[in-house]
Amino acid sequence: MRIQKKVRQTNLQEKLASSPFLTDGELAVLLNVSVQTIRLDRLELGIPELRGRTKQMAESAQDKLKAISSGDIIGELIDLELGVQGISVMTITPDMVFEKTKIARGHYVFSQANSLAIAIIDAPTALTGVANIKYKIPIHVGEKLVAKAEVIRKRGNKYFIWVKTRNEKQEVFRAKFIMVSLEP
C-alpha cells in the first residue's frame, strides 16, 4: 500500500533522527519504497547521503570538545553533548587485527571507548580512574563499530560513564568507567 509523499517524508525524517546511520537501502526497506524514492525524498528535504550526514555530525561534535583534542579520539566522533553523552564510529582495518586469527586487537576497541568517555567530560582535563571492561564477541576486519557513551552519574569531580559498542548486529564490547576531571 502506497503512503502519501508528505507522510513518507515525515517518516524518513523520523527514522534518520533516531538512526542517522541508516543507508538508503535500509531506509527503502523500512519505508517499503525504492532506493531511488529515498534518494529523491532526501534531495527534496535537503538531507545529505550517509557520508554527508556523518561528516556534518562529526564537524559539529568536534567543536564541543574540552578534555581531549579531536586528534586524540580513536574512531570518528559524530555526536557529543558534554557531560551527558557521545557517539563515535570506527571501522576495523587490516592493521587492527592479529595476523594469525584476523580478530581485532582489544586495545583498539578499548581506546575507542576510553577516548569517547574522556571526550564527554565537561572539564578542561580528565583521566581514567577505573575501567571495568568486557569483550563480548570477536570482532573482525571490516566491521563498523558504533560506541555510545553516557554519563550515568557525577559525584564531585568523578564521572561514572557507561560505553556500549555495537557492530551492525549486536553489542560487542561494554565498559564502565570512572573518569576524574582535573580542574586547574
> So where are the chain's domains?
5-47, 58-181
pLDDT band at 144 (very low <50, low <70, confident <90, very high): very high
> Which of 42-51, 52-61, 161-170 is predicted least confidently?
52-61
Stated pTM of the model: 0.69
Q: What does the pLDDT average to over 68-74? A: 76
User: Helix crossing, 35-45 with 24-31: angle to 10°?
Assistant: 100
Backbone torsions φ then ψ of 49, nearest 5 degrees = -65, 175
Q: Which pLDDT score is estimated for 61?
A: 61
Residue 132 CB neighbour total at 10 angstroms: 10
| pLDDT band, residue 112 (cuts 50/70/90) | very high
Q: What is the pLDDT at residue 107?
A: 95
Per-residue model confidence (pLDDT) at position 46: 87
Per-chain mean pLDDT for the chain: 88
Whole-Å CA distances, 54 to 132, 147, 171: 29, 14, 21
pLDDT at position 65 is: 65
Which phi and psi angles does 115 have, rounded to 5°?
-70, -35
**Mean pLDDT value across residues 95-117:** 95
Is 57's pLDDT higher than 70?
no
CATH topology of domain 58-181: Thiol Ester Dehydrase; Chain A (3.10.129)
| pLDDT band at residue 64 using 50, 70 and 90 as cut-offs | low
Give CA–CA dist 11/9, Å, rounded.
5
Which of 54-68, 95-109, 137-151 is least confident?
54-68
What is the arithmetic mean of pLDDT over 68-77? 80
Instruction: Identify the CA nearest to 50 among candidates 38, 37, 62, 64.
Output: 38
Q: Which CATH number fits domain 5-47: 1.10.3720.10, 1.10.10.10, 3.40.190.10, 1.10.10.2520?
A: 1.10.10.10
Query: Is residue 47's pLDDT more than 90?
Result: no
